[in-house]
Amino acid sequence: MTMIGGGAVADSLPGYDRNSGLPFASRSEVIARNGMAATSHPLTTQIALDVLKAGGNAVDAAIAANAALGLMEPTGNGIGGDLFAIVWDAENRELVGLNASGRAPALMTLEYFREKGLDDIPKYGPLPVSVPGAVDGWFELHGRFGSMPIADLLAPAIRYAREGFPVTEEIARLFVVNQKRIGHYPGFAETFMPRGRVPKKGEVFRNPRLADTLQAIAEGGRDAFYKGDIARRIDAYMTEQCGLLRYDDLASHTSEWVTPVSTDYRGWEVYELPPNGQGIAALQILNLLEGFDIAAMGFGSPEYVHTFVEAKKLAFEDRARYYADMDFADVPVTTLISKEYAAERRKLISPDRAAKKVPAGDIKLEQGDTIYMTVADSTGNMISLIQSNYNGMGSGMTPGDLGFVLQNRADLFSLLPGHANVLAPGKRPFHTIIPAFVMKDGKPLISFGLMGGAMQPQGHAQIVINMIDFGMNLQEAGDAGRIYHKGSSEPTGETMTDGGVIHLESGFGEEARRKLAKMGHRLGPSNHEFGGYQAIMWDEQEGVYYGASEVRKDGHAAGY
């Protein structure tokens, strides 16, 4: 096989259908000069491009696309959920982060759950609902970077909500999954089952309730959601359903601008946001793997899979012990992502034996559906944005006739006293959704993300490894078969005792699977939990953007 430009061309491979690139690549990268958008839905990608063509910047386009995604992919995101973003500000040559995640309501206390005899916060229903932060996130982004009126940015989503859009195959499938989980909660059927059932593939779905809500936000700003009639209606609904979220929780909500943190992986500066999210787990995995000759192991080899999974186990034990809202817990981020710490932890990785249990590190050494999208504009601005309800459509709480479901993020709090992520009123829960960014030589290179619960940091690390160690291009790095390890200790308090389970996509051979089993790994089936990827890369030399999108979902990258 001949290597060309970081990719590979098959010299003679039976059944090989492509003229260039690696055999598993689903499509070529998209290449354009003036702008690029990569989202998880073809129609929202077009909305983003329309905004760019109308003179809006990358942040304007991202807000417009995200608003439409909440309508078109309610199975993964919406204004009832949270948002995180990393923005490359081309004018100021600065990388900034936004944490737009909501906090636990004032009534959500440990005593409340103890009195009810609960050891865990329920996953669905009224109790796991935390304050939704997405709308405030839009307005924070817009206030700092926006160039077009917010009403113009919400107009496409409002129009599609009133006129309707055809439901894609993947979203139709997820509608069925979510209807079984939460379809019985008040308001769900009235909003999402207009024909007495959830929409099928190709059917035109309308959500006039959401259109009215978005129109109110377009006219009244973020306060229409957090301090106006929408907030009062959410309060009334949650009170009626015996939930804990109240008007005052919404009225007091704020987002936070944060500084992204990074590590250097073989010359690439990989950036993530600090906790309460899990992004630094990707940095920890990369630091651990930097001490191995990953390229020599070869993609898909049992040696690579084993080494990756063992590094993941170590990073996730720290994730379970330390990651939490940094306003409430002393999270040793600098230590956790340091090279010195990785060197000590790396000693615990056996070259030929799977660990059944690993300890969290000694800091004294100093599931879910989501959407991910990224946009870049002609002046060099880039935004990496991720947004989610958690567990698909969230809690099931569908307030009144507002047209959306509230998230269930509080399910990720621990109820163990003394735990870093223990529940407290006003505290932000541990978060799974994470945007990522790559710089090289101090310049922007790649804005990317990979949605999907605990798969996200594992996926972030694999994308970087695929490109650097295995020479894949932007699209190939996302199309390549993925490794997903489940069963590590969790921030809610559960601990790993049996080594967990490795799920491998079909691209991994039987010989590799047999060798992994001999090393002591347990292998599970390909379980459709491998995430969804979008990415944009800037080629400074040619002055062009490369775009890549996810073959496992409805992803679409396009430029102009």
Give the SS3 label for residue 279. coil
Give the SS3 label for residue 166. strand
Q: What is the distance between the alpha carbons of residues 168 and 464, in angstroms, rounded to a whole number?
A: 30
Report the run of H or E that residue 284 belongs to, with start and end: helix 280-289
Which structure tokens are listed for 13?
A: 């491979």
Q: Which residues of 100-133 are buried (b: 16+ CB within 10 A; e: fewer)?
A: bbbbbbeebebeebeeeeeeebebbbbbbbbbbb
Q: How distant, in Å, are the alpha carbons of 63, 357, 388, 487, 490 from that of 367?
A: 25, 21, 12, 12, 11
Which structure tokens are listed for 132?
A: 């939704």
Could you tell me if 148 and 55 are in contact, meaning their C-beta atoms sit under 8 angstroms apart?
yes
Nearest Cα residue to 451 out of 177, 83, 183, 103 = 83
What's the 3-state SS for 523-536?
EECCCCCCCEEEEE
Chain centre distance of CA 6: 27
Which structure tokens are listed for 27?
A: 């499509």
Which structure tokens are listed for 186?
A: 């008040």
Is 254 part of the annotated catalytic residue set? Answer: no
Q: What is the distance between the alpha carbons of residues 244 and 130, in angstroms, rounded to a whole number?
A: 9
Instruction: Identify residue 241 by its one-letter amino acid code.
Output: Q
Q: How distant, in Å, are the alpha carbons of 196, 210, 217, 233, 487 from that of 400?
A: 18, 11, 16, 7, 38
Could you tell me if 502 and 308 are in contact, meaning their C-beta atoms sit under 8 angstroms apart?
no
Exactly one of 39, 370, 398, 492 is catalytic; name it: 370
Q: Which residues are catalytic?
A: 370
